[in-house]
Structures are given as C-alpha cells and as structure tokens.
A and B are shown apart, each in its own frame.
Chain A
Amino acid sequence: MSTFWIILTACLAASACSLVGSFLVLRKQAMLGDAISHAVLPGIAIAFLLTASRNTFPMLIGAGAFGLLTVYLTEKLQLRGRLMNDASMGIVFTTLFAIGVIIITLFASQVDLDQECILYGEIAYVPWDLWIFNGMNMGPRPVWILGFVLMLNIIFIVSCYKELKIYAFDRQLAISMGVPVMLIHYGLMGSVSFSTIAAFESVGAILVVALIVVPPATAYLLTERLSRMLMLSVVFGILSSISGYYLALWTNSSIAGAIAVMTGVFFGLALFFSPLDGIFFRKYRGARKELNELSLESGKPVAEYPQV
C-alpha cells in the first residue's frame, strides 16, 4: 500500500509541475522553477517558526509569498539595477535560500526541517504523513495537497487556454490582441509557486526543478501542438515517477533523485529518437539527402547556446 501512495504522490507532483512547466519552457523561463523552488525556503521556515507546527496552510502562504517575491524582486532588479535577467534571478534566489538555511540552522531545535530533506525531499515518508479529518483517516496529506494544486492548475489552464497559448508563443502579439498579459503572467507565476511549494514539501527542491523542466522539454521535442505537449509532458512525468521509484528501490537510494534521473533518461531518448526532429533520424534522413525540407530546427538564433 505504501508503494501505491508514494507513486501516486510522485505522479501528482509530476503532473502539476509539468503542466505549468510547459509554459515556462515555451516562455524560455525554465530557470524560474529553479529560482522559486529554492527561494520559498525562508517562507516555509518562517511559517514553521511562527505556527510551531507542520501545518500546511501557513506554510503554503509563507512559501507563496516568497515565490511571488522572487519573481517581483528579479524583475525589479533587472529593470532598476540594469542587470541581466539570469544574474538578477541568481542573486535573488541564492540569497533567499541562504537566508532560509540560516534560519533553519539557527532555530534547529524548533524547526524540524533539515537541509537535505529540503533538497531531495522525504517522499519515502509520505504514507505515514496522514490527514486525519474528523477522526477519519483520509490517506496521506501530500496526496490531497498535490491533488488540489493539480486541480487548480488544470482549471487555470483550461479556462485561460487560448490566452496562455498566445502569451506563451508571442507576448507582443498577445499584448496587441488585448490579452491581459500581466494577469496571465502573474497567474502563471502563482501557479508555478503553488505547484513548486506543494511538490517541494514531499519531493524536494531539485526534483521540482526536474519535473518542471525536463518532461515538458521532452514533450516539446515530440510534438508541435501545445495541447499534445501538455498531455505528453504529463505522461512523461508519470512514467518517470513510476520507473524512478523502482530504480530507487533497486539501487537502495533516494527516490526523488532517481525520478530526476529517469526524466533525464526519457529526455535523452526523445533527443535522439524523436520522429520529428531526433538526432538519429536527422542523420538517417540526411543520408537520404532530404535534410533540406526537413530542417525544422532553424528559426533559432545560432548564438544562443550555453558556453561559459
């Protein structure tokens, strides 16, 4: 039974994260997931200190506030401080994370959180983190929280699908068509914050980043339709969760880490064997001298690659 709960938690986290992550990947803001998942730490720690309990609701509020604060500070620093987006993001989230770690260390006796569990979570303990409602055992608490956040995300995406789509692909067009871009932007950032926080508590910061970025990127390689990309990213998130769980069981290691590894494995497969644009097929077709009509990869500036 505990296996079921762990896998269900991972799958819910994966679905919630990859749905919003898809938009971050399309908006080229993937690192925002990383930033938010680190920066919410002081919020969680402060909520913990103030309420002296692991009550979820204050934690969600504290973390949500710091998530939005990260987005806000990053944008402010970029505009006022004349810094590049990545540099301002790097400053904001590392500082907030450091403050969070310091708070936790200072109040180690009161705060029952340790740094490693923040990084790679305690998904293995999920089955024992039960929600008792009116004396009735409702099953693990994280399952409920993640399920709720997933539902919120689905409602947000379905109700604003058209607006999100235009916003994701062409912000200027969205503005000119009268889409309330700021509303959509902060709505999306709010969803990212909530998904991050809900998932963070059970699966840890790094797995959150993996779930936000990798399954959507994998799906992005396999389709050119947003609706299919969303569905495929959820599918890959779930597949990674299940296979990651058994990988961890087999190697007797961290479940969250193993799930992150599996998302990477699926991405690698898609990168090489995607029928659309995979490296393997491109080589094969190149041999048949059909590359010209199939070079879909153009349209991306050549200079944009990470060197040091």
Chain B
Amino acid sequence: MSTVRTRTLVTGVALAVAAFVLADQGAVFGADLPKVALLGAAAGAVLGLVPDRSPAARLGGFLTGFAAAWLGYALRAGVLPDIPMGRAIAAVVVVAIVTVVATATANRLPLWAGFVGVTTLLGSYETTFAATPTSFVSDSMTAVTTSLLAAALGFFVAVLASGTSAVGLEPGDEPQEVVVLDKAVPAPRPAADTNVSLAKKATR
C-alpha cells in the first residue's frame, strides 16, 4: 500500500473514531453534542485536510465565518424583518464579512475556511433558530459551543493524522499572486488572442 493510501486510511479511521466518540460519549459535554457530532467532525476534517495555508490560518478563516454566521443570526433575531429580504440581507452580511476578512488578509485567512465556519453554525443552529428565534441568546450559545467542540475535535484529528500540520509554514507557502504565462501554440502570434493557452502556475 502506498504511503498516500496508508495516510488516507489512517486519517479516515481516526476521523471515524473521533466521530464515534463524539456521538457516543459526547453527552458528557451536554446532551446536544451528539446531535452535531458528524457535522462538526466533518467540518473540522475539511478544515484539517485541505492543505491550504497553515492550520492556524485555516482556523482563523473558520472562526471568522463562524462568527459571521452567528452575527447574521443575531441580526435576523433582533434587527432585520422576518421576511425573505431580511434573510437575504443577513446572508449578504455574512458572506461580505467572510469575503472582506479574506480579502483584507490577502486570503491568508482563506475564504473557503470562512464558508466552512459559516456552514458549520448553519448546520447546527438553523433548525433551532427557525423554531425559536426569540431564544437566540441561549440557544445560539449552545449551538456555537457544541458545533465548535465537534469541529475542533475533527480538525485536531485531521491535522494530526493527515500530516497537513506543517502546510503553509514553509517560506514558500505564503500566498502569492498567481502568475499566468500565456504561450502560443504552436507559434506565438503577437497582438492577437488565442483560443488555446497554456497556463502555468509558477512554483519555486
């Protein structure tokens, strides 16, 4: 078995154990934790498995999206009207926050990690919020802590098992502008666009 296959299998088994522990013994941390065990573990696994930026950067993006989603719920519960327009505005605000943070950090806090964070809170809290929006303060804190703990465990297991912990910590791992080199095939044709191009991502 190749190293890649072995690592993938080990990572999967470790995540499965983590999900099992969360679902089976998660009640130690509250009755709601088992309900979001798989969601949180999966989101954390995604966060830990994607070899893009360092774990801390990925975590930062994740927490940014997580906080933005919570803010979106807060707006819906306390400020915005309970109509599609209100929900649309909340959605825009959440996406905007994640985007602004990613943009401001030059994607050091990656955009995708933010959306994983948004998705994690939505998955654990949307149903509860729809049922009892007036209990936002108490219910949202439970959803935040349970999903965050599940995601943290998945993230922790994935990072350690997949070996992506060191990704992004090398000097060349900092985010760079993508350089696209257009190359004419079979021969360059000056001042003219071509239908066939070869994109090359320069790496060092």
Chain B binds chain A: no
Which residue numbers of A lie inside 8 Å of B, CB to CB? none
